[in-house]
Amino acid sequence: MSKLSLQVGSKDFDISLDGDFYEYFKEDFSRVFKDKKNIEAKELLQAFVQKSYNEYQDKLRLEEISKKLEEI
């Protein structure tokens, strides 16, 4: 288990993640927040909304692909 430390607003947080997911999350977090360790709550909320929207779009695409596969 690996630990990632960051600040949201003025509060410190430690996140413990396992194996490959730790590496994936660390890279993704760095990309989204441009290697910042101290982020504002508003930035975190905006990133969460964007991730949720991306997940929603992926879900729609998967449903579309699934329907096409069922037709075959």
Quick one: how far is CA 9 from the chain centroid?
Answer: 19
Q: What is the pLDDT, as a whole number, of residue 44? A: 95
pLDDT, position 35: 83
Which 3 state secondary structure label does DSSP give 39?
strand
Per-residue model confidence as pLDDT tens digits over 15-55 = 999 999 999 999 999 999 998 879 999 999 999 999 999 99
In the three-class reduction of DSSP (H, G, I as helix; E, B as strand; rest coil), residue 18 is classed as coil
